[in-house]
A and B are shown apart, each in its own frame.
Chain A
Amino acid sequence: GAVVSQHPSRVICKSGTSVKIECRSLDFQATTMFWYRQFPKQSLMLMATSNEGSKATYEQGVEKDKFLINHASLTLSTLTVTSAHPEDSSFYICSARAAGSYNSPLHFGNGTRLTVT
């Protein structure tokens, strides 16, 4: 089945530094990828929709300059948390849908646990 690889699975960084999270579709091309954020024991909240070759669409309340998204190829989207603060500590999950298959299910990465100290 379709596989989405998310890296790293865990990262600890110091406050004020930036962290990049990668989301790769391993065996399919994804024109659209989604980035979610999940706090402990809470639901997944959509942060942004990443479109290959164009600017990402951010949800209301998500800072574009803080959460930089780049979808430079059909198999890779990156989320960079800039100038991270402890309140950015969370679980980040990406998902992707195969290009040309509007009705196909979304495939999720395994998530990245970010801890900002």
Chain B
Amino acid sequence: AQTVTQSQPEMSVQEAETVTLSCTYDTSESDYYLFWYKQPPSRQMILVIRQEAYKQQNATENRFSVNFQKAAKSFSLKISDSQLGDAAMYFCAYRSAETSGSRLTFGEGTQLTVNP
């Protein structure tokens, strides 16, 4: 079974600064997807960024980028120019591309605080 680990329960960053959230995962599969989701106080799950394991290039979405290290099974999220609206719980998630069902396995989450 796949597992996802986020070792930082809480992180804080100053507005306009950069912060990196860590995520590691364990799998025996070679084809899979990795995601970062944001959950603000509204509890809505918002997809931040997605990475296909077969792609070597790191995904980027505006101020959000990932550092995907497949061999190390690491998938960190970098938020540049942090904004107050970035404050939320962030979840790293894994999804197999080899089996049907597309279930997501989530990490424990990292609560990000953005200080003005």
**Interface residues, chain A, with chain B CB atoms under 8 Å away:** 32, 34, 38, 41-46, 49, 57, 91, 93, 95, 97, 102-103, 105-106, 108, 110-111, 113
Total number of residue pairs linking A and B with CB closer than 8 Å = 49
Could you tell me if B101 and A49 are in contact, using CB atoms closer than 8 angstroms?
yes
Q: Is B75 an interface position by the 8 A CB rule?
A: no
Q: Is B62 an interface position by the 8 A CB rule?
A: no
Chain B residues near A41: list those with CB within 8 A. 89, 109, 111
Interface pairs (29), CB distance under 8 Å:
A32-B101, A32-B102, A34-B104, A42-B108, A43-B106, A43-B107, A43-B108, A44-B91, A45-B106, A46-B103, A46-B105, A49-B101, A49-B103, A57-B101, A91-B43, A93-B45, A95-B45, A97-B102, A102-B100, A102-B102, A103-B33, A103-B97, A105-B35, A105-B47, A105-B50, A106-B102, A106-B104, A110-B43, A110-B44
Majority DSSP secondary structure for residues of A touching B: strand
Q: Is B42 an interface position by the 8 A CB rule?
A: yes
Majority DSSP secondary structure for residues of B touching A: loop
**Size of chain B's interface in residues, with CB distance under 8 A?**
22
Inter-chain CA distance A106–B42, complex, in Å, is: 18
**Interface residues, chain B, with chain A CB atoms under 8 Å away:** 33, 35, 42-45, 47, 50, 89, 91, 97, 100-109, 111
Inter-chain CA distance A93–B42, complex, in Å, is: 12
